[in-house]
Structures are given as structure tokens and as C-alpha cells.
Amino acid sequence: MEQPILLSTPHIGEQELKFVKEAFDTNWVAPVGPNIDAFEQEFSQVVGSKHAAALSSGTAALHLALKLAGVQPGDEVFCSTFTFIASASPITYLGAQPVFVDSDRISWNMDPNLLETALAQRDKLGKLPKAVVLVHLYGQSADIEPILQICDRYGIPLIEDAAEALGATYKNTSPGTWGQAGIFSFNGNKIITTSGGGMLVSNDGDLISKAKFLATQARDPQPHYEHTEIGFNYRLSNISAGIGRGQLAVLKDRVAARRRNFDIYRQAFGDLPGVEFMPEADFGTSTRWLSCLTFDPQTTGINREQIRLQLLEKQIETRPVWKPMHLQPVFAHCECINNGVAEDIFQKGLCLPSGSNLNNDDLERVVSEILNLYTK
């Protein structure tokens, strides 16, 4: 039996252990310590934000970002519909309601024109959302500038979910650094990992201080433990931050490896009829965190699910693209500003094995199995 080829697995190098060992040797085995401070500083430098808070997950980072944007029970928050559920679930943690916004075709991310129309309508009704969560999907930045301008016009804070977009560029900057706050994830499947963790970034130092305060049980500065607010236990450990420092040092290589996967796939079947690869918008570079493409069943004669199941039989893991949030049973009651784009991509879209640790044999196997399906 051949070895399974998985979608996206952790890719640990040689540097990580050095920082972890240092943490052991100095007994900084806690959610405080020198690796955390260094990871925050190094991360801020890489993405170009003034401040950062290392947290236990990207979801935790988004929860704090929304709380610090003042989101409260009964509020509405606009959110990209084409995403993973962690972009939307923190909205509900705060008792607020998501309203989903569909995508454009050039980036697969939130459509600025759709947002503009929706906010103009809401403004007339006197019912503006409390925040906008903008997702940068699969390593591809959304068109941030017009979206930020629209949000600014109405005084709505923009929060960027860049969990999948570390290493990407938008107009020579990092996505995640334009809004009031941005979040990143170091979950095991992301472009770099800490075995689980996240980062909140902002140019607002007060916001990050407040986030660190809330992330450590909201302890007021007293020798005894004094609390005037309810906080959370959301800090990253000094061990995990050590892994993160080692991973951050090889981020460029990881991006290059994932872009190479994508190029190999595109060369192999980019010209087949009915096949379209996820576009790369001209305002920046995608990391190609996952290599995504769509199969049009009318032209190809096979649909996405048939392809996925037949590859699974050959021990190759692929996955449908994210099912849009407005189609999720748990959000059935939520409104969606819908133009049909995310639904269409979901019907046809597949993510191929995309790890930065795939070797040439793995890639060749994926390519030849897909070509086999095609010529059958």
C-alpha cells in the first residue's frame, strides 16, 4: 500500500528545538517568558505591524479583536461568507449576529462593491454593523484598500482575519495590518505552526495592551488578585512561542514551497477544459497556502466529489473548498448579502495536497492520478 498524501501537515525544521530547549533549560515553561516577547517582536517585524500579542489560537485572537471593537449582545457584524467557521464563531461568543457578505471572482474574497451597496442600505435603515471581519482566504489577500475606505466612511472598525495569509502581500504590505486589528493562526495545518496558537496585531498599542490584559484573566495591578472585568485564559505558552520563532525564520521557504506546489499542478492541468485554478489578484502575491481549483462538471464530465473520492481510494487526501457560512445549518437564520459566487465555487472547488513538505514523488503521484481520472 502506498503512503497516504495528506492535505497540509506540520513542517518542522531544525531551529525550533533550539528555542524550546532554551525554554526548558531556563525553566520558562509557562505562558510568560522570553520566547513570547521575542516571538511578538519578530512577528511584528515580519508583517510590519507596531504591536502584537501571542495567543492560544487564531480564534481567541479574533474573539479579543471583536470584544475590543466594542461588539456587544444584539449587535450585527459583517463577515466574509466564504471562510472557515472560526471567522464567524467569535461573533456569536459575544452574543452578536453575523451578516455574511459574498466574494468577488478575482480574489475569492469579500466583494468591495457588494459591501458598499449593503452598507449604504443599512445606513438608510440606521442599522450599521458594529464591525466588519474581512477574511484573506487560502493565502490570497482580499482587496483591502477599497474595503477599508468604505468602512472608514461609516466609522466601522475593520478586523482582518489573516489566519491563512501569513507571508502573502497586498500592495507590498502584509494583509492583516490595515484594519484596526488583524489575526493570524499557527494551527497545525497553517503555513507555519506552533502546534496551536495565534497572533493579534495592531498599530494601536493600547489595544494590544488591553488584549494582553484580557488574555491573562483581566488581573488588575494589585499584589492580591483584583478583578473589575471578566477575562480569558488566552496566552500562548513560552514553549509554543519557541516553536513559532523557529518557524518564522523559514517562512519565506515555506511560501516558496507552497507556491511551487501550485505551479506544478497548474502546469500539469491548467490547460484542461473545465479546470480553473484559484486566481492571483494583481494587487499582491498569494502564498498558495492551499492549492485550489474548480472543476466544471459540464465540461469535464466528472464532478468535484467524484474526483475527491477516487483520489481518496488512491490514498490522496483532498478537500472541498470551504462551505460558505450562509449555507451552514448553524447560521441558517443569518442574513447573507449573496451574489452566488461562493456557492458556485463551493460546488466545483477542490483543495489539493499543499504541504510545504511534499516531495517531487508526492506531487508526481497527485498529478498522474488526476490526469488518469481525466483520460478515463
Residues of this chain that interact with ligand PLP (CB under 6 A) are 57-59, 83-84, 86-87, 135, 161, 163-164, 185, 187, 198
Q: Which residue has the closest beta carbon to ligand PLP?
A: 58
Question: Residue 189 phi/psi, 5° resolution?
Answer: -95, -5
If the CB atoms of residues 84 and 295 are measured against ligand PLP, the closer one turns out to be 84
End-to-end CA distance of the chain: 23
Specify the residue, 161 or 369, whose C-beta has the smaller distance to ligand PLP.
161
Q: In the complex, what is the shortest distance from the CB of residue 109 to ligand PLP, in angstroms, rounded to a whole number?
A: 11
Q: Please state the closest distance from residue 132 (CB atom) to ligand PLP, in A.
A: 15
Q: What's CA 338's distance to the chain center, in Å?
A: 21
- Between 49 and 80, name the residue whose CB sits nearer to ligand PLP: 80
- Closest contact distance (angstroms) between CB of 59 and ligand PLP is 3
For ligand PLP, give the closer residue by CB, 169 or 195. Answer: 195
For residues 258 and 191, the answer to whether their CB atoms sit within 8 Å is yes
Q: How far is the CB of 87 from ligand PLP (least distance, A)?
A: 5
Smallest separation (angstroms) from ligand PLP to the CB of 303: 25
Please say which residue, 80 or 300, places its beta carbon nearer to ligand PLP: 80
Query: How far apart are CB 105 and ligand PLP at their closest, in Å?
Result: 19
Least separation in angstroms between residue 43's CB and ligand PLP is: 14
- In angstroms, give the least distance from the CB of 81 to ligand PLP: 12
- Cβ proximity to ligand PLP: between 135 and 151 the closer is 135
Q: Residue 53 and residue 15: Cα distance in Å, rounded?
A: 22
Q: Which is nearer to ligand PLP, 58 or 129 (CB)?
A: 58
* One-letter-per-residue 3-state SS of the chain: CCCCECCCCCCCCCCHHHHHHHHHHCCCCCCCCHHHHHHHHHHHHHHCCCEEEEECCHHHHHHHHHHHCCCCCCCEEEEECCCCHHHCHHHHHCCCEEEEECECCCCCCECHHHHHHHHHHHHHHCCCCCEEEEECHHHCCCCHHHHHHHHHHHCCCEEEECCCCCCCCECCECCCCCCCEEEEECCCCCCCCCCCCEEEEECCHHHHHHHHHHHECCCECCCCCECCCCCCECECCHHHHHHHHHHHCCHHHHHHHHHHHHHHHHHHHCCCCCEEECCCCCCCCCCCCCEEEEECHHHHCCCHHHHHHHHHHCCECCEECCCCHHHCHHHCCCCEECCCHHHHHHHHEEEECCCCCCCHHHHHHHHHHHHHHHHC
User: Which residues, 6+ apart, have CB-to-CB distance to 275 below 8 Å?
Assistant: 269, 293, 294, 295, 296, 300
Q: Which is nearer to ligand PLP, 84 or 346 (CB)?
A: 84
Q: CB 154 → ligand PLP: shortest distance, Å?
A: 24
Q: What angle do CA 309, 312, 315 make, to 5 degrees?
A: 165
The minimum distance between CB 163 and ligand PLP, in angstroms, equals 3
Nearer to ligand PLP, 104 or 369 (CB): 104
Nearer to ligand PLP, 59 or 240 (CB): 59
